[in-house]
Copies of this chain bind each other. A is one copy, B any other.
Amino acid sequence: MFGFAKRDTYSIIEMVIAMHYVRGFKEGKKSILYGNRGMCLENDLNDTNTFYRLQNRAVIYKKPTPITISKVDYPSRIEAVIKEAYFKTPSTTDYNGVYRGKYIDFEAKETKLDYFPLANIHVHQIEHLKLIMKHGGIGFLIIRFIKYNKTFLLEGKDFLEFLETMKRKSIPLSYFEEKGHIIKEKYQPRLDYLESIDTLFFKGESV
């Protein structure tokens, strides 16, 4: 009986661990190290992409964080421990993959403000999105406004149009409300952004 009581105490911890694991704990842990930036959106997207893969809907992954490794230790013949490495400025967006035969490519960011600061997207990433579209891929942004709990998909062409016509350092929420497409939050998938892609690029036909 005591064993069971003890077991009950553990089960909550186990549940929390299991929940964290399901919600992409590993990625979450990494985000904590970066100072909690973009953790929730990243986890939601990782869950969504896992769900899409399991449902055979699409194969989309977050790319690993680009780093420059400068020191590796080999404590044993098969084990390698990186002892010194540095974060590199990404030259591409974070997410890519294939959906309905098309190449999908996007960057995802959160903002606590009423606008999205353009400093959050590197120049290389903007150039990358331009090229993707030029080569027939589907490029876009996913931006979450934390304060309003709203997540938008903004097509690459609308993002570039803003950059070219408005000489501003940030995109206001109103632009996302006008040109963007709100992504519904669900139980599963967490953020069904492919629903927006169906509407925008496949005339609303689902697979």
A interface residue numbers (CB < 8 A to B)? 26, 30, 33-34, 53, 56, 58-59, 61, 63-69, 72, 80-88, 91-92, 96-105, 128, 131-132, 134-137
Q: What are the 5 tightest A-B residue pairs by CB atom distance, in nearest-first order? A: A101-B136, A98-B103, A82-B85, A98-B137, A64-B66
Q: A33-B69, A53-B131, A84-B82 are in contact. Are A59 and B137 (CB under 8 A)?
A: yes
Q: A102-B101, A103-B102 are in contact. Are A132 and B86 (CB under 8 A)?
A: no
- Measured CB to CB, the nearest residue on chain B to A58 is B135
Question: Is B83 a contact partner of A83 (Cβ separation < 8 A)?
Answer: yes
Q: A96-B96, A102-B103 are in contact. Are A69 and B30 (CB under 8 A)?
A: yes
Contacts of A86 in B (CB 8 A): 80-82
The 8 Å CB contact of A63, one of B53, B63, B68, B87, is B63
Question: Is B72 a contact partner of A33 (Cβ separation < 8 A)?
Answer: yes
Question: Is A98 a contact partner of B59 (Cβ separation < 8 A)?
Answer: no
Contacts of A136 in B (CB 8 A): 98, 100-102
